[in-house]
Structure 1
């Protein structure tokens, strides 16, 4: 993974703050909190840097640079798949209605599909391989359905606004190298707004705004098997959503970093059914339980350098390896300002 070109690496202390207590990991050093922060603090040292911006980048990423699992190569069935680039190898087209959109997204050749204004999807719209779908001039509003990435690879979905009665985006059927970035999601009913299941792999969900919903992100379900579901969740704003930010089951590796959790009445992150979840550099504010494990079939979860304000101490279990890719953390104390300023459609 290439670090974003505008990122500048510095060194800083990242805080882990809790109203009750936040026990330091082995080797951590207690320090004084910043002015106005709650007491009972502990920190570990970590690198601080400006995070990748979705606003500044050269082609093929006019809206940002992919970070995390979606940018990592993958070998599958004897074939090497590079990191996600979407439809950058093909032409750029425009869709003005649901039929045009569906035709473009189902095409065999690589395409960048630009959408402006509002389109009623009229149900499920399949997204084929080697596609970029990007909202322009203030984003695109997609209503009345969902985007389905089923078995496809090399897909970018960016700058979209989706208010869904159920799941807005499903990634399944062994789909891989999928990047959902800079979008706004609401609704969902009893379903998660984004669902990554069915052996999907190498997925990044970044700079999105989730609001007015019971459930944000589901990774894995009871039918999944270990060995896939490697997902990065970074710089998202979970704005009053209840739970599943994400909930992981049978996930090989889920990396959750630099997200802003605000007023979440159930929980932030949950690891279940042998998942491996690393949670770091996140800001939890009025989240009832920041991190948890599934009660009956828990997964592994490691936390570090998170900041908790009016949020309960996490439950931890097992060991989780670091991801293989390069990434840079924002100072946790700056996460609310950074994320609120950039997450969602622009």
Structure 2
């Protein structure tokens, strides 16, 4: 997966672990220059976006720990893992990865009811994996590339793997992609999606492989809003009461540069429902 490339994503490791249960302690730990694991105990009410420094693992203690009222901002950082956390009622994004951040792994989280994006990745960020997350009760789920005019910074970057996520009754942006190529959307479960599943725009190259679409009228689209069209390749997706995938210029989608073993799409629903979200590590 992409977070395993470019030297890999190891986070803060286990040599230093700090457990926090207040907003003040969390803010201090996240911005510390120390390479460490920040373990969140319980639900912490925060305000606004909390900055995250490099070389951090942010880990929920149990299945019901996390933050409410705000989110995490990763700007120009590297080697960060965000895992086993509940995100609720963010006043902006729940997780925002931007400004050339690299080697980020967002794994086994439960995200809902934010104001803007649940997981947005933009401004030249790269080598990121988004895996085993449960997204629900939300409109704009995942943005990859924030603006049609940002090609100078984004082209050649925004390489992300989306794997084993459950998009559960959400509306759009699963993800909505600009410029990134390749973007690998593999073995995700889409259930009862309102507007569309995966959107490719601005000459992005998106490979949508072996996903399970159930009650999704538009599994993939290649024109999103007023953006120029993107490129999109499909392989062996499984559909139940769902529409036809749109494809465009499949040969323009770059080859996935890592080895992986995909699951057959028919089994993805059971796998993802059983394994996604918090408390499943």
TM over 0.5: yes
Deviations 1:252-273 (A, max 9, x none): 3210000000000211001000
Q: Give 1:201 shift.
A: 0.5
Gaps in structure 2 of 5+ consecutive residues: none
Take 1:175 and 1:224, find their aligned partners in 2: how far apart are those partners?
16
Provide the residue aligned with 1:199 in structure 2.
Answer: 124
Provide the residue aligned with 1:239 in structure 2.
Answer: 168
Take 2:84 and 2:191, find their aligned partners in 1: how far apart are those partners?
22
Provide the residue aligned with 1:328 in structure 2.
Answer: 261
Take 1:86 and 1:261, find their aligned partners in 2: how far apart are those partners?
29
What TM-score do you get using the length of structure 1 for normalisation? 0.76
Question: Is the 1:166–1:187 contact (alpha carbons within 8 Å) kept by the matching residues of 2?
Answer: no
Provide the residue aligned with 2:205 in structure 1.
Answer: 276
Q: Give 1:137 shift.
A: 2.2
Question: Is the 1:283–1:308 contact (alpha carbons within 8 Å) kept by the matching residues of 2?
Answer: yes
The runs of 4+ residues in structure 1 deviating greater than 3 Å are: none
Cα 1:288/1:166, change in 2 over 3 Å: farther
Provide the residue aligned with 2:40 in structure 1.
Answer: 115
Take 2:63 and 2:166, find their aligned partners in 1: how far apart are those partners?
19
Question: Is the 1:260–1:336 contact (alpha carbons within 8 Å) kept by the matching residues of 2?
Answer: yes
Q: Give 1:334 shift.
A: 0.9
User: Residue 228 of structure 2 is aligned with which of 293, 297, 301?
Assistant: 297
Say yes or no: does 1:157 pair with 2:82: yes
Take 2:57 and 2:125, find their aligned partners in 1: how far apart are those partners?
18
Question: Is the 1:253–1:277 contact (alpha carbons within 8 Å) kept by the matching residues of 2?
Answer: yes
Provide the residue aligned with 2:56 in structure 1.
Answer: 131
Provide the residue aligned with 2:180 in structure 1.
Answer: 251
Provide the residue aligned with 2:157 in structure 1.
Answer: 228
Question: Is the 1:90–1:109 contact (alpha carbons within 8 Å) kept by the matching residues of 2?
Answer: no
The structure with the largest helix share of the pair is 2
Q: 2:25 aligns to what SS in structure 1?
A: helix
User: Residue 109 of structure 2 is aligned with which of 163, 183, 204?
Assistant: 183
Q: Which has the larger radius of gyration?
A: 1
1:33-52 equivalences in 2 (<5 Å): none
Take 1:185 and 1:342, find their aligned partners in 2: how far apart are those partners?
15
What TM-score do you get using the length of structure 2 for normalisation? 0.93
Greater displacement, 316-325 / 126-135:
316-325
Higher relative contact order (CA 8 A, sep 6+): 1
Q: 2:162 aligns to what SS in structure 1?
A: strand
Say yes or no: does 1:308 pair with 2:239: yes
Q: 1:138 aligns to what SS in structure 2?
A: coil
Provide the residue aligned with 2:272 in structure 1.
Answer: 339
Say yes or no: does 1:103 pair with 2:39: no
Deviations 1:140-198 (A, max 9, x none): 13111110001110000000000124310000010010110000011123x22111001
Take 2:117 and 2:223, find their aligned partners in 1: how far apart are those partners?
17
Question: Is the 1:120–1:143 contact (alpha carbons within 8 Å) kept by the matching residues of 2?
Answer: yes
Matched length: 270
Question: Is the 2:49–2:92 contact (alpha carbons within 8 Å) kept by the matching residues of 1?
Answer: no
Take 1:143 and 1:260, find their aligned partners in 2: how far apart are those partners?
25
